[in-house]
Amino acid sequence: MNLDAILEVAIGMVFVWLVLSVAAMQIQEWIGSAMAWRAQFLEKAIRNMLGSDQLVNEFYNHPLILSLSEPGKNPGQYRRPSYIPAGKFASVMMDIFLNAGKDSSDEVPGTLSLNEMATNLQTMKQENPGLGKIIDHLFPHLTDQTLSADQALAHARAYMETWFNDGMDRVIGWYKRYTGVCTFVIALILALALNVDSLQIANKLWAEPTLRQVVAAQASNTPNANTGASSPLQVPDYLNSLSIPVGWTTEAVTNYKSCGFFIGQNTPPGYMSQNDSGQNQCNMFVNLPAMNNLGGWLSKLIGILITAAAGAQGSPFWFDILKKLVNIRGSGGTTTTTPPAAPASTAPIPAPAPAPDPNTDGPVG
């Protein structure tokens, strides 16, 4: 088995998936930024933590949070932030909890006594029963008379930051699952639109040694996850420049009767259009199987799905694998080497006889 050829095909396929995943992630970032996905998931996590629309609005209207928000088109409007530091969250929630029933700017929490804090928190618990146990967990030292107000606030701040960080761990998981599904859908659309068929590309690389060596060399020169296609629109031209078979190809034919997607017909699918002379012509897809070739269509579907699944993994994943494969190829790890020949056996060389002692007639005993 030619291990070098297998390694070069693997490098070529990983390189193609890397290019597609970069394009899919760029599109996903554009959509996510335009639709403020991060801000929406952050708000979802905070709403889940507070359990009250009133508290959520009070939180986002706090001056510290507004300072992190992007101004909207109209005066007084703000886009909710996509990132909030744990320290800012703790400061805002201290104001909200300890000034329950009043404007959060009325009193600074550090100027309140322990009894005043306890009274305000009791009001908050009555207005928001769902937060009762959470408030007890966040302020466990208010009844400890051995601590000063500053010490009790320091403990509460630390608990609030931990509470926030735990909530952010959950929202990161939500966001990753959501964007993973979106990236797969985007990669599937790209694979269909650009005809990036993994099985077809793998067969092409395996059948043409020169092509796979060129692609492997190009992959070896990729310095980082930013490939030669700087935008998703450049992906088909970039891959075609490397002679990798992507894109849809049509051929004009004159047989109008068999033009279309007719199941069971022994012709490739096609569509009607007008040529430059204004005459109707049939454009058949030459890189699609005939309509009666079920195996060919299953192979095409599997190849497209493999591409979509690979593109959803993300460019960092494929770039790490590509680096490892390139290093193996560069080190010649798959080249069969002949072990060095064993040295020829020689007769043992006898040890020299001991020198005679000048004071005796025989050798030294």
pLDDT of residue 346: 40
Amino acid identity, position 187: A
State the pLDDT confidence band at 97, using cuts at 50, 70 and 90. Answer: confident
Query: How far, in Å, CA of 17 to CA of 317, rounded?
Result: 10
Among residues 73, 88, 75, which one has the least CA distance to residue 42? Answer: 88
pLDDT of residue 86: 93
Query: How far, in Å, CA of 223 to CA of 192, rounded?
Result: 28
In the predicted structure, residue 249 carries a pLDDT above the cut 80: yes
State the pLDDT confidence band at 271, using cuts at 50, 70 and 90. Answer: confident
Ranking 84-88, 188-192, 270-274 by mean pLDDT, the lowest is: 270-274
Dihedral sign for Cα 282, 286, 287, 289, please.
Answer: positive
Q: From the CA atom positions of the chain, what is the Rg in Å?
A: 35
Query: How far, in Å, CA of 156 to CA of 137, rounded?
Result: 9
In the predicted structure, residue 219 carries a pLDDT above the cut 60: yes
State the pLDDT confidence band at 99, using cuts at 50, 70 and 90. Answer: confident
Query: How far, in Å, CA of 139 to CA of 257, rounded?
Result: 80
Ranking 52-66, 74-88, 238-252, 253-267 by mean pLDDT, the lowest is: 253-267
In the predicted structure, residue 347 carries a pLDDT above the cut 70: no
Total H helices, total E strands in the chain: 13, 5
Question: Phi and psi for 321 in degrees, rounded to 5?
Answer: -65, -40
Ranking 7-21, 33-47, 101-115, 122-136 by mean pLDDT, the lowest is: 101-115
Q: What share of the chain has pLDDT > 90, as a percent?
A: 41
State the pLDDT confidence band at 274, using cuts at 50, 70 and 90. Answer: confident
Query: How far, in Å, CA of 41 to CA of 167, rounded?
Result: 11
pLDDT of residue 181: 94
The CB density around residue 204, as the number of other CB atoms within 10 Å, is 18
Q: What pTM does this model have?
A: 0.77
Place of tokens 């805002």: 92
- In this prediction, residues 74-78 reach a mean pLDDT of 78
The kind and range of the H/E element at 58 are helix 53-60
Q: What is the pLDDT of residues 153-194, one digit of tens each?
A: 888 899 999 999 999 999 999 999 999 999 999 999 999 999
- What residue ranges in the chain does DSSP mark as E strands? 70-71, 78-79, 250-253, 270-274, 280-285
In the predicted structure, residue 359 carries a pLDDT above the cut 80: no
pLDDT of residue 57: 92
In the predicted structure, residue 350 carries a pLDDT above the cut 80: no
In the predicted structure, residue 197 carries a pLDDT above the cut 90: yes
State the pLDDT confidence band at 339, using cuts at 50, 70 and 90. Answer: very low
pLDDT of residue 226: 54
DSSP 3-state of 120: helix
Question: Phi and psi for 193 in degrees, rounded to 5?
Answer: -65, -35
Q: Where are the domains of the chain?
A: 3-29+188-331, 37-181
pLDDT of residue 356: 44
Cα–Cα separations (whole angstroms), residue 26 to 53, 234, 308: 34, 12, 15
| CB-CB contact of 307 with 301 (8 Å) | no
Q: What is the pLDDT of residues 120-157, one digit of tens each?
A: 888 888 888 888 888 888 888 777 667 777 888 888 89
Question: Phi and psi for 281 in degrees, rounded to 5?
Answer: -145, 155
Q: What is the pLDDT of residues 2-22, one digit of tens each?
A: 888 999 999 999 999 999 999
78: left (phi over 0), alpha (psi -120 to 50) or beta: beta
In the predicted structure, residue 224 carries a pLDDT above the cut 80: no
Q: What share of the chain has pLDDT > 70, as a percent?
A: 83
250-253: strand order across its sheet: 250-253, 280-285, 270-274
State the pLDDT confidence band at 245, using cuts at 50, 70 and 90. Answer: confident
Ranking 48-62, 221-235, 299-313 by mean pLDDT, the lowest is: 221-235
273 contact partners, CB below 8 Å, separation of at least 6? 280, 281, 283
